[in-house]
Amino acid sequence: MTSQPSLPADDFGIYHVLAECTDYYDTLPVKEADGNQPHFQGVTGLWNLGNTCCVNAILQCLCSILPLVEYFLTGKYITALQNDCSEVATAFAYLMTDMWLGDSDCVSPEIFWSALGNLYPAFTKKMQQDAQEFLICVLNELYEALKKYHYSRRRPYEKGSTQRCCRKWITTETSVITQLFEEQLNYSIVCLKCEKCTYKNEVFTVFSLPIPSKYACSLRDCLQCFFQQDALTWNNEIHCSFCETKQETAVRASISKAPKIIIFHLKRFDIQGTTKRKLRTDIHYPLTNLDLTPYICSIFRKYPKYNLCAVVNHSGDLEGGHYTAFYKNSVTQAWYSFDNTRVSEIPDTSIQNAMAYLLFYSCQPFSIPIQKR
């Protein structure tokens, strides 16, 4: 067998190992599917189990995140598994194996869907679900199953430093989910009476963005709307620890920890009391070189630019909609559309569409997978 060329480690610090007992390939790896049509690794449809298009769209997008896929296919997840909550993570590993290494054009997500449904019964009901809520539940359960405890000393705060918002905080738990998806926002809160400033941090994995227009706007417009300074007055006043009473405040957010994979949730579903509506705004989003520099705290600008790697689309309305997914396959470097069992290659010009609901961006392109000998 020929030896594998040595490759430099990337920012993810891992290699993408997708098969065993094979030579290093010189051409794109394909599997022969029914009808002698080439079936590429990772390009696999999912059966609809009864209004599970939401589940399938999210799973297809997670299937595109090669560092996450590699972590499960190589068995690294086994050493991190927490015995009391391992069912979801194990089912996810089996599903990723079927989607990347199996011989079928379509596979069933039933085992994974059932495992998650035991914890979140609402997702087993055969009615439309919110893809963003399902994604958060999946990431939370994978985090809980794979978390490890880590203790580090806090860096002393230097008096007079202008980078107060960028202090390092003690991390007590970590996992592959935090390493890839976790983002931290820092809020600077200024009391408009005493002008003293306090800081608050918020950690999350899915970044929900407001949509500032009814008709058309850009992803940058959504970001600017979120990060603009906001004045909290009247019933929204915040307690000031210096004034010892509620005061009007000015709040501004910045990113103090940029993730390697950033997921934007476009808030298309507007629910106010009993009134529900869907915003059908045509939002333009870049496929490459999304620059987040203006929103990232200057000391943490390791990943300022991002490339689109997957999209969840929602068509229809709040009561009778349908989810599909686009993602860029790292093997073929082509974009594919996934509509349950229907899979087709699509041109780059089709990625931009008015139905986008979740956008997955990576800080660097994923490597073409390396096969393990």
Q: Tens place of pLDDT for every residue, the chain, 373 residues? A: 444 333 334 444 433 333 332 333 333 344 444 444 556 888 999 999 988 999 999 999 999 999 999 999 999 999 888 767 789 999 999 999 999 998 899 999 999 999 999 999 988 877 778 999 999 999 999 999 998 876 555 555 444 444 444 445 555 678 999 999 999 999 999 999 898 898 889 998 999 999 998 899 999 999 999 999 888 888 888 889 898 889 999 999 999 888 999 999 999 998 777 788 899 999 999 999 999 989 988 766 666 789 999 999 999 987 778 999 999 998 889 999 999 999 999 999 999 999 999 999 998 766 654 444 3
Active-site position among 106, 217, 297, 322: 322
pLDDT of residue 127: 74
Nearest residue to 303 via CA among 267, 271, 355, 257: 257
pLDDT of residue 277: 86
pLDDT of residue 23: 33
pLDDT of residue 303: 60
Contact 93, 77 (CB under 8 A): yes
pLDDT of residue 41: 85
- pTM for this one? 0.82
Contact 282, 148 (CB under 8 A): no
pLDDT of residue 170: 53
Active-site position among 53, 63, 191, 240: 53
Token output for 304: 């300022």
Concerning whether 54 is annotated as a catalytic residue, the answer is no
pLDDT of residue 319: 77
Cβ-based neighbour number of residue 187 at 10 Å = 16
What's the CATH code, domain 45-148+171-362? Answer: 3.90.70.10
Nearest residue to 307 via CA among 267, 362, 257: 362
Concerning whether 194 is annotated as a catalytic residue, the answer is no
Residue 268 vs residues 186, 327, 357: alpha-carbon distances, Å: 25, 21, 7
